[in-house]
Structure 1
């Protein structure tokens, strides 16, 4: 498998300026598109922080129901102790949903890595992946980034990824 190539750019001017060509690893940037793996990764990230807050009232949480609805014997009807029993209309819900419910699950590591490499490969093939030399910007004005993104037609959303955890303050 031959290495993929991409242009190295800089952020010094709003005009697109190519510096050199980089060779990218073919296993990372040359994998076949797997829509099913991308879907599993997006679903996992969506469920990662999701917290269900739905809760049904049990018979103990409903008002009333302290008095026996009819005598135990003598009427020929079935015996009942409360009109908030789950058997009754307007009664409590037995085994209903209880908050908080976590939808968290762990996606296997191999699927997470395959999803990342597939997404990077697709972005490179669609010419939506831009590699810049450094994230140092000549000005502290935040408007410069917006003008840069519009001038280079990078689209409505841009993700800046750096090798360090700390980003420059003007981004």
Structure 2
């Protein structure tokens, strides 16, 4: 997977956050593991590429879901990195939502995906570290403008 995996991150205030890998969110902008939106869920479940991905990674996917719902299992995975960690050391905190593009063949897009529309350029996948790469993303978009001649400024003269 193009994800970080179980990890520890020291925050600027000195606290340490322990993070899981990634699990499917059942709601866009769903920041809690029980967030659910029927329309979003239906969209995922009716997308054939999702089932291709799920079939390929069924075992890993189930492990991630179990790890995110079981503090004991999550703690055990953290102890592989820092054996002294105990479940009582852990307190719930916020989650992040990371969009991840999925191609029709069921493969995850693990890099930037920039697509030209008729009158636009779309950034369809911006994996971490998108924020630190924002200048380079902008340069890549600007580099595509010459290919879209109708977006070029025109010079007209008045006689």
TM-score (norm: length of structure 2) = 0.19
TM-score (norm: length of structure 1) = 0.18
Structure holding more helix per residue = 2
> Relative CO higher for 1 or 2, CA cutoff 8 Å, sep ≥ 6?
1
Q: Which has the larger radius of gyration?
A: 1
